[in-house]
Amino acid sequence: MRIRFTKMQGAGNDFVVLDETQARHNFSTAQYRFLADRHFGVGADQILTVRPAPNPSLDFEYVIHNADGGEVEHCGNGARCFVRYVRDKGLTTKDRVRVKVKQGEIELQMNADGRVTVNMGAPIFDASKVPFQLEGLQLKVVGDCQVWHLPLNINAASSGFAAGVDVAVLSMGNPHAVQVVDSVDTASVLSLGPLIENHSAFPNRVNAGFMQVLSRDAIRLRVFERGAGETLACGTGACAAVVAGIRMGLLNPKVDVQTHGGLLTIEWQGGALKDVSQPVLMTGPATSVFEGEIDVPELP
């Protein structure tokens, strides 16, 4: 099957965007994996598929597949690229759109400066909804934030790592485990990332964030994403890190997040002694890189 696609990026997090507003491609997991392959396909961290709204109260639906072909709940950087795509393609003239994603609904705003603000919804701390199996894990409270000790397997410990890591756990529509580190430059992201991602405490796996606090208004962040590995930026990961930092008493309500791919601004008015049901707002860039066509082979 020959299809058209658009390659996009938001803070270096890159996507293949497909238009299914007229007809479905009905791709298999293997075909999504092919499209994301940087050697044999187009190459991307994730595949974004644009579909018609399922009901009149919404403008669109979009579906997200990781580079491993699996469907996921949410992607903040992808959401910004999505709204840039539908505007660039003339699928809408609205500055503000409401969209269905797997985990619910989100609202996106195209700003006058070309950046996009996404209402990411409220963070989720209920372990059963993350999901997160906390039985048997050690807990400490930092500020107003629960921090859990994840024991690592014996292979990791014998390789020179500590016996475990301390993480704040929450969901931004997808699960995140956030660790505070002295420096993201020296953090063992590529070694610890897969161990945290696949830890038995997370039945659906987890995105592992490594946060360095620069000031109350700025952090540096690296994220080892579930199903994709380390990416240049992760929007939901930036939101999760800032929320965790605010609840720990380390950060102010509005924070600049420095990633390898660029700058994101995260704002959350929740936190200690406040309403944690407040939504998280993320603002950042979204850019079209190129367009093309590709033959997608028949794959099981």
What residue ranges do the domains of the chain occupy?
2-119+286-295, 127-278
Classify strands 218-225 and 229-231 as parallel, antiparallel or unpaired. Answer: antiparallel
Could you tell me which of 175, 154, 19, 4 has the C-alpha nearest to residue 86?
A: 19
- Which residue among 75, 81, 145, 239 is the active-site one? 75
Tell me the pLDDT band of 162, cut-offs 50, 70 and 90: low
Residue 160 pLDDT more than 80?
no
Q: What is the pLDDT of residue 250?
A: 98
The architecture (CATH level 2) of 2-119+286-295 comes to Roll (3.10)
Amino acid (one-letter) located at 11: A
Q: Which residues partner with 170 through β-bridges? A: 176
Class of domain 127-278: alpha beta
Q: What is the pLDDT of residue 109?
A: 95
Q: 2-119+286-295 and 127-278: same fold?
A: yes
Residue 156 pLDDT more than 80?
no
Q: Which helix (H) or strand (E) holds 52?
A: strand 46-52
Q: How many CA atoms lie within 13 A of 67 on its CB side?
A: 20
Residue 157 pLDDT more than 80?
no
What is the per-residue pLDDT across 224-260, written as a single tens digit (0 to 9) for each? 999 889 999 999 999 999 999 999 999 999 999 999 9
Contact (Cβ atoms closer than 8 angstroms) between residue 300 and residue 28? yes
Q: What is the pLDDT of residue 155?
A: 58
**Residue 145: active-site member:** no
Q: How many CA atoms lie within 13 A of 165 on its CB side?
A: 27
Contact (Cβ atoms closer than 8 angstroms) between residue 260 and residue 224? no
- Which residue among 81, 145, 234, 239 is the active-site one? 234
What is the per-residue pLDDT across 256-296, written as a single tens digit (0 to 9) for each? 999 999 999 999 999 766 788 999 999 999 999 999 999 99
Write out the two tokens for 136. 């048997």
Q: What is the pLDDT of residue 73?
A: 86
Distance CA 205, CA 54 (A): 29
Write out the two tokens for 68. 């491993």
Residue 158 pLDDT more than 60?
no
What is the per-residue pLDDT across 63-113, written as a single tens digit (0 to 9) for each? 999 999 999 888 889 999 999 999 999 999 999 999 999 878 999 999 999
Contact (Cβ atoms closer than 8 angstroms) between residue 239 and residue 172? yes
What is the per-residue pLDDT across 209-229, written as a single tens digit (0 to 9) for each? 999 999 999 999 999 999 889
Q: Three-state DSSP class for 100?
A: strand
Distance CA 209, CA 167 (A): 9
Write out the two tokens for 255. 């924070």
Distance CA 8, CA 17 (A): 7
Q: Which residues partner with 215 through β-bridges? A: 218
What is the per-residue pLDDT across 164-191, written as a single tens digit (0 to 9) for each? 999 999 999 999 999 999 999 999 999 9
Write out the two tokens for 62. 């979009």
Q: How many CA atoms lie within 13 A of 22 on its CB side?
A: 5
Residue 13 pLDDT more than 50?
yes
| 108-to-58, 76, 254 alpha-carbon distances in Å | 12, 10, 18
